[in-house]
């Protein structure tokens, strides 16, 4: 079997490559291989509306079931790619089948990082990365009274909020001295921590997990390095992902912590591309440093870049990174990369739970976080993209819409 374009991974990036190829009028054969058994779907609702029982799986699908056949896009499920031969233009599946391609797109995402402590494999210990994980957690909930979430990143905090909404008693354990330390400034971290505590979450910072305790193969609690224990009949581990790219790296692609791609999302193997959580690229908004972003924006925009390159209409990837999260009644929207900021400006009143935090480096707005402040988000993205310098006093002045500050 052979296809003009084979896409390994039918998640956010892989599906978007196929959709965009057809939108661009690409007429060749397109085959998506996916290791999972489900139709292609979006992951963000899994820790939010789907976990809270407010959205059906059908409403998480990237496209309705009939779309793919209508667009002449072939989908092969339970098809894990395990080896790539770049010279022979062949990809091998776990069941031994070999498929030929002219162009290959690697979009295999990542897998959740696992805890390495004793008890990590007990029943009742879950990660949350795919529908199977979400369904297993939801199925257990009727038997759960106390949940422990390990990891105070976005997924851990979102799932904590979803469990609180369902009446669970929730403890969040974060190893660092603040939540969201990898992605947000301290003001936002402290605000989010206070919100979770106000909703009854027992949030512990600097908490080192030593062991998951269990009886008869089932988790009963968590022991911390300081000797304290927390009772739990459900443990959710949200400590990041490991990008999946081994078959491509073994085939000679450059990388480590993901596959390296150029501005057209092509690897160093000609005609072989990568996009999404598994790809590292030099990002304009990070001073051209190598970054690997885990977001719907990045997966989508890199996929669009790949499709343009394959369709013979190349345009480089220059998109501004952005992200969102929902927790309780908070809508968080972030844009840019705040690493290296030397000043922050807060617009609005944090106590009113509607504000924006702008991150500046030498007067240039490099990122912003909006909390229940959608009106600042779109102009704020434009401020970051402009690369212009602004007076912190002007930025702070809420009577002045951010839009008015945009360079003409
Ligand atoms: C619970 C959760 C909540 C999230 N919330 C947000 C959010 O609010 N906002 C946001 O911007 N981002 C969010 N994200 C991140 C976002 O979903 C990812 O960044 C995005 O899905 C990445 O797209 P991708 O295509 O690279 O990977 P994925 O969407 O993970 O797709 C990868 C696909 O590859 C398949 N695969 C893996 N290995 C192989 C193989 N060897 N062969 C074939 N197929 C393979 C997998 O089965 C999977 O379907 C969330 C993620 C999770 C898990």
Q: Which of 27, 87, 106, 102 is nearest to 266 (CA)?
A: 106
Residue 36 Cβ contacting ligand 1 at under 6 Å? yes
State which ligand 1 atom lies nearest to the alpha carbon of 296: 11
Classify 237 as helix, strand or coil.
strand
The CATH superfamily assigned to 114-237 is: FAD/NAD(P)-binding domain (3.50.50.60)
Q: How far is CA 384 from CA 83, 172, 320, 344, 379, in A?
A: 41, 33, 8, 14, 9
pLDDT in tens, the chain (408 residues): 899 999 999 999 999 999 999 999 999 999 999 999 988 999 999 999 999 899 999 999 999 999 999 999 999 999 999 999 999 999 999 999 999 999 999 999 999 999 999 999 999 999 999 999 999 999 999 999 999 999 999 999 999 999 999 899 999 999 999 999 988 999 999 999 999 999 999 999 999 999 999 999 999 999 999 999 999 999 999 999 999 999 999 999 999 999 999 999 999 999 999 999 999 999 999 999 999 999 999 999 999 999 999 999 999 999 999 999 999 999 999 999 998 899 999 999 999 999 999 999 999 999 999 999 999 999 999 999 999 899 999 999 999 999 998 877
How far does the centroid of ligand 1 lie from the alpha carbon of residue 277, in Å?
A: 7
Residue 155 Cβ contacting ligand 1 at under 6 Å? yes
How far does the centroid of ligand 1 lie from the alpha carbon of residue 44, in Å?
A: 9
How far does the centroid of ligand 1 lie from the alpha carbon of residue 258, in Å?
A: 14
How far does the centroid of ligand 1 lie from the alpha carbon of residue 225, in Å?
A: 32
Give the residue, out of 129, 299, 327, with the most ligand 1 atoms within 8 A of its beta carbon, to mutate for a pocket test: 299
pLDDT of residue 407: 75
- Tell me if 2-111+241-310 shares its fold with 329-405: no
Q: Is 77 exposed, middle or buried (0-12, 13-18, 19+ CB in 10 A)?
A: middle
Nearest CA to ligand 1 atom 39: 108
User: Residue 24: enclosing H or E segment and its boundaries?
Assistant: none
Instruction: Kindly list the domain boundaries of the chain, sorted by start residue.
Output: 2-111+241-310, 114-237, 329-405
pLDDT of residue 303: 98
How far does the centroid of ligand 1 lie from the alpha carbon of residue 12, in Å?
A: 6
Look up the pTM and report it: 0.96
Write down the H helix ranges in 37-153. Answer: 67-70, 131-140
How far does the centroid of ligand 1 lie from the alpha carbon of residue 11, in Å?
A: 6
CA distance 273 to 270: 8
pLDDT digits (tens, 9 = 90+) for 100-146: 999 999 999 999 999 999 999 999 999 999 999 999 999 999 999 99
Residue 301 Cβ contacting ligand 1 at under 6 Å? no
Residue 203 Cβ contacting ligand 1 at under 6 Å? no
Q: Which CATH class is domain 2-111+241-310?
A: alpha beta
Give the residue, out of 18, 36, 296, with the most ligand 1 atoms within 8 A of its beta carbon, to mutate for a pocket test: 296
Residue 115 Cβ contacting ligand 1 at under 6 Å? no
Q: Which of 130, 152, 170, 154 is nearest to 50 (CA)?
A: 130
State which ligand 1 atom lies nearest to the alpha carbon of 129: 53
pLDDT of residue 235: 98
Buried b (16+ CB within 10 A) or exposed e, 145-183: ebbbbbbbbbbbbbbbbbbbeeebbbbbbbbeebbbbeb
Residue 324 Cβ contacting ligand 1 at under 6 Å? yes
pLDDT digits (tens, 9 = 90+) for 272-317: 999 999 999 999 999 999 999 999 999 999 999 999 999 999 999 9
State which ligand 1 atom lies nearest to the alpha carbon of 275: 26
Classify 77 as helix, strand or coil.
coil
Contact 74, 32 (CB under 8 A): yes
Q: Which CATH architecture is the domain 329-405 placed in?
A: 2-Layer Sandwich (3.30)
Give the residue, out of 109, 151, 247, 299, with the most ligand 1 atoms within 8 A of its beta carbon, to mutate for a pocket test: 109
Contact 377, 354 (CB under 8 A): no
């Amino acid at each position: 079997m052979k296809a003009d374009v084979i896409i390994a991974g039918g998640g956010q990036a892989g599906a978007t490559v196929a959709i965009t190829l057809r939108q661009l009028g690409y007429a060749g054969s397109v085959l998506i291989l996916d290791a999972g058994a489900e139709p292609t779907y979006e992951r963000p609702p899994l820790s939010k509306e789907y976990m809270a029982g407010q959205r059906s799986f059908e409403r998480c699908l990237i496209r309705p079931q009939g779309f793919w056949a209508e667009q002449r896009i072939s989908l092969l499920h339970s098809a894990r790619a395990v080896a790539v031969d770049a010279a022979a233009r062949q990809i091998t599946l776990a069941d031994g089948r070999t498929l030929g391609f002219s162009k290959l797109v690697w979009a295999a995402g990542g897998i959740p990082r696992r805890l390495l402590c004793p008890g990590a494999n007990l029943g009742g210990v879950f990660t949350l990365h795919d529908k199977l994980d979400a369904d297993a957690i939801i199925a257990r909930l009727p038997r759960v009274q106390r949940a422990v979430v390990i990891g105070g990143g976005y997924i851990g905090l979102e799932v904590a909020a979803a469990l609180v909404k369902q009446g669970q008693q929730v403890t969040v354990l974060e190893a660092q001295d603040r939540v969201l330390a990898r992605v947000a400034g301290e003001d936002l971290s402290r605000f989010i921590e206070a919100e979770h505590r106000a909703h009854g979450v027992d949030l512990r910072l600097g908490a080192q997990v030593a062991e998951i305790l269990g009886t008869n193969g089932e988790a009963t609690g968590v022991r911390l390095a300081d000797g304290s224990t927390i009772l739990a009949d459900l443990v959710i581990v949200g400590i990041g992902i490991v990008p999946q790219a081994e078959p491509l790296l073994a085939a000679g692609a450059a990388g480590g912590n993901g596959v390296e791609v150029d501005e057209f999302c092509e690897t160093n193997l000609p005609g072989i591309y990568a996009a999404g959580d598994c790809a590292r690229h030099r990002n304009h908004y990070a001073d051209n440093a190598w970054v690997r972003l885990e977001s719907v924006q990045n997966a989508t925009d890199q996929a669009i870049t790949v499709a343009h390159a394959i369709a013979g209409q190349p345009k480089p990837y220059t998109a501004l990174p952005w992200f969102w999260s929902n927790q309780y009644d908070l809508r968080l929207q972030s844009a840019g990369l705040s690493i290296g900021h030397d000043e922050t400006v807060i617009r609005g009143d944090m106590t009113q739970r509607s504000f924006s935090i702008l991150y500046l480096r030498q007067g240039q707005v490099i990122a912003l976080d909006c909390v229940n402040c959608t009106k600042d988000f779109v102009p704020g993205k434009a401020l970051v993209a402009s690369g212009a310098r602004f007076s912190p006093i002007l930025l702070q002045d809420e009577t002045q819409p951010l839009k008015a500050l945009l360079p003409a």
